């Protein structure tokens, strides 16, 4: 037993020795950690209790408010981004200085409507952009004025208002509400004045009997003024519409005549016939409107004897032309330039299709002739007072 005890004793001693070393190491680490915390805490307490030196907060509060040209300032704390803080945009609309929440610098706007002033804080404000040149002092540089910040590229792209320098001014238009209100009132007064001038001109024209005619027919491509419902007396509406239908009728007759003669000229290889038919249409349509329909329109509006006389003269010529075109005698209009009945008989002997086209043209001219004679009679009765 004694022998076994002597054999196990060294092993037991070595085990106890190892355990003691580990516990001692752990105790030493704990002591070091607690000692470091105690050192830090005691240093902070000593620094806070030492009234002979100013704290950073007191030093930053001694920096006077920085005046900038604008209403929004960009603060980064230091000219070196690695030593500064995240970019902070500060609005300077209030009268009291605005404080950066990171570095504590205070800013105030010298001109609230001047735009936006971009800077890096107190270290990057150059004398050319700050109104308080002597106040740009680094509180940690023993009273020495800081040097101007070196040029560096702006974080704002050149196409979006940046100019390649970090301290560039961004021109953003800010309108003065009072000035804007004055401009709007000025514009309103100008519009009212123009409206009064237009009303005065219209009244003067009405007193002078001058009417302003706006082209409104046909609706898809207005080329003439035509407003029977508002400009012609109500008891003459039917008669004026009948005359208007007569004018549209002659336009249709001459247009169809051009088409029928074109087919005949292609069949008979005689281009002269087509050219004469085109001349009839080109001159007949506008001259009929100018010479007799427009005078009748004006006569119905003003009850003028002169315009009635002009209508009777030229409308009688229109009736004569329609009758001659419906007959197409070989006396005045030679050849097959008009789709009259005599030409229809001649064309039917040659080509049935062309004969049908000419027959339709004859029917159109015949209907136009009868309508024109009836309109002439009704207008004459109206002129004589039988209304």
pLDDT digits (tens, 9 = 90+) for 327-376: 998 877 777 899 999 999 999 888 899 999 999 999 999 999 999 999 99
Question: Is 203 a member of any domain?
Answer: no
User: Is residue 265 domain-shared with residue 162, that is, in the same domain?
Assistant: no
Question: Is 376 a member of any domain?
Answer: yes
Reply yes or no on whether the pLDDT at 296 is more than 90.
yes
Give me the pLDDT at residue 240, please. Answer: 95
Containing domain of residue 283, as a range? 228-383
Question: Is 204 a member of any domain?
Answer: no
Helix or strand holding residue 287 (H, E):
helix 271-288
φ and ψ of 339, to 5 deg: -90, 60
User: Is residue 167 domain-shared with residue 242, that is, in the same domain?
Assistant: no
User: Is residue 164 domain-shared with residue 239, that is, in the same domain?
Assistant: no
Q: Give the mean pLDDT of 6-20.
A: 53
Report DSSP state, residue 81: T
Which residue is associated with the tokens 């427009």?
Answer: 294
Closest CA to 365 of 267, 260, 290, 264: 260
Number of structural domains the chain divides into? 2
Question: Is 88 a member of any domain?
Answer: yes
CATH number for position 97? 2.60.260.40
φ and ψ of 226, to 5 deg: -150, 115
* Range ranked top by mean pLDDT from 16-20, 106-110, 137-141: 106-110
Choose the final residue of a domain: 176, 209, 242.
Answer: 176
Question: Is 220 a member of any domain?
Answer: no
Question: Is 67 a member of any domain?
Answer: yes
User: Is residue 168 domain-shared with residue 252, that is, in the same domain?
Assistant: no
User: Is residue 82 domain-shared with residue 144, that is, in the same domain?
Assistant: yes
Assign 113 a pLDDT band (cuts: 50, 70, 90): low
User: Is residue 250 domain-shared with residue 106, that is, in the same domain?
Assistant: no
User: Is residue 152 domain-shared with residue 277, that is, in the same domain?
Assistant: no
Q: Which residues contact 330 (CB under 8 A, 6 or more apart)?
A: 342
Reply yes or no on whether the pLDDT at 315 is more than 90.
yes
pTM for this model (two decimals): 0.49
CA distance 348 to 26: 132
Question: Is 120 a member of any domain?
Answer: yes
Assign 91 a pLDDT band (cuts: 50, 70, 90): confident
User: Is residue 169 domain-shared with residue 249, that is, in the same domain?
Assistant: no
Q: Which two tokens stand for residue 100?
A: 């950066």
Choose the final residue of a domain: 176, 211, 237.
Answer: 176
Question: Is 330 a member of any domain?
Answer: yes
Neighbour count for residue 124 (Cβ, 10 Å): 25
Reply yes or no on whether the pLDDT at 171 is more than 70.
no
Assign 300 a pLDDT band (cuts: 50, 70, 90): very high
Reply yes or no on whether the pLDDT at 164 is more than 60.
no
Q: What is the pLDDT of the chain when averaged over all its residues? A: 77
Choose the final residue of a domain: 146, 176, 206.
Answer: 176
User: Is residue 232 domain-shared with residue 122, that is, in the same domain?
Assistant: no
- Of 5-19, 82-96, 169-183, 272-286, the poorest mean pLDDT is in 5-19
Q: Give the mean pLDDT of 239-244.
A: 96
Q: What percent of the chain has pLDDT over 90?
A: 39
């Amino acid at each position: 037993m004694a022998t076994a005890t002597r054999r196990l004793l060294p092993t037991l001693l070595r085990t106890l020795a190892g355990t003691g070393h580990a516990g001692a190491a752990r105790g030493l680490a704990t002591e070091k950690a607690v000692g470091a915390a105690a050192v830090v805490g005691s240093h902070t307490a000593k620094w806070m209790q030492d009234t002979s030196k100013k704290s950073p907060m007191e030093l930053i509060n001694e920096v006077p408010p920085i005046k900038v040209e604008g209403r929004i300032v960009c603060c980064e704390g230091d000219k070196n981004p690695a030593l500064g803080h995240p970019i902070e945009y500060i609005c300077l609309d209030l009268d009291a200085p605005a404080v950066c929440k990171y570095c504590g610098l205070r800013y105030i706007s010298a001109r609230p409507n001047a735009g936006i002033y971009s800077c890096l804080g107190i270290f990057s404000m150059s004398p050319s952009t700050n109104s308080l040149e002597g106040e740009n002092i680094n509180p940690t540089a023993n009273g020495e004025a800081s040097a101007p910040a070196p040029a560096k590229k702006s974080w704002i792209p050149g196409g979006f208002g940046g100019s390649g320098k970090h301290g560039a001014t961004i021109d953003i238009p800010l309108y003065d509400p009072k000035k804007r209100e004055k401009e709007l009132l000025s514009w309103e007064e100008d519009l009212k004045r123009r409206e009064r001038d237009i009303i005065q001109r219209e009244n003067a024209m009405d007193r002078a009997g001058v009417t302003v005619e706006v082209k409104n027919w046909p609706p898809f491509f207005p080329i003439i003024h035509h407003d029977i419902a508002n400009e012609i007396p109500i008891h003459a509406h039917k008669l004026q519409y009948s005359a208007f239908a007569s004018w549209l009728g002659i336009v249709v007759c001459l247009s169809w005549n051009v088409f029928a003669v074109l087919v005949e000229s292609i069949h008979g290889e005689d281009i002269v016939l087509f050219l004469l038919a085109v001349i009839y249409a080109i001159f007949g349509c506008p001259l009929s409107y100018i010479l007799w329909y427009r005078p009748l329109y004006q006569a119905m509006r003003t009850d003028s004897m002169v315009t009635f006389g002009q209508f009777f003269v030229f409308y009688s010529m229109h009736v004569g032309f329609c009758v001659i075109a419906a007959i197409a005698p070989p006396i005045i209009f030679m050849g097959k330039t008009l789709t009259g009945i005599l030409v229809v008989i001649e064309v039917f002997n040659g080509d049935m299709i062309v004969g049908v086209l000419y027959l339709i043209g004859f029917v159109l001219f015949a209907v136009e002739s009868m309508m024109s004679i009836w309109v002439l009679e009704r207008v004459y009765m109206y002129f004589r007072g039988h209304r």
